[in-house]
Amino acid sequence: MAWLIWLGISLVLSFFLAGRKGWLRFWPVGLVALAVVYILDSTLIRLGAFAYHYGLPELGGLPLLYFLSTIPNGVTVARFYPSRHWLRLPYVLVLAAVLLLVEWLMSITGNFRHLRWSPGQSLGLNVVGLVLVFWLGEWLGVLNEDGR
């Protein structure tokens, strides 16, 4: 149920914050986010770092609804990607902290647990994942070097 709520929140926020124009422009970044999350999380699940709990279908150890939520979240974060270079690091750090907060909420609801992992490592992984998403978004030409 928590993953369904998370997907719903992600879709609603993306609809209101990115809008139709944001979706039309930044959907490739959503797909990049999907790939990055799958590669990083499924690898760490196989290595025994952490585990998700769910009553729904899974893909590579990831709850399907969590996995699908990365598309609207990728579109939303791409929509607000700063054009000023000096704002990009704080933007990534704030987003990484927000994702850590979501992880904490899922942990206290019993939908996620650390096995051989810590919140500090999660924060670092979030930063790496976001940097990869934004770098690949720029490489694809969806996010220009000036941020748009």
CB 61, CB 52: distance < 8 Å: yes
pLDDT digits (tens, 9 = 90+) for 39-90: 998 898 888 888 877 666 677 788 888 889 999 999 999 999 999 999 999 9
The whole-number pLDDT of residue 26 equals 97
Give the Cα separation of 135 and 138 in Å (integer). 5
The whole-number pLDDT of residue 65 equals 87
Enumerate the domain spans of the chain: 2-139
pTM score: 0.89
CB 29, CB 142: distance < 8 Å: yes
pLDDT (mean) for 132-147:
86
pLDDT (mean) for 80-105:
95
pLDDT digits (tens, 9 = 90+) for 4-19: 899 999 999 999 999 9
Collapsed DSSP state (helix, strand, coil) of residue 37: helix
pLDDT (mean) for 119-148:
89
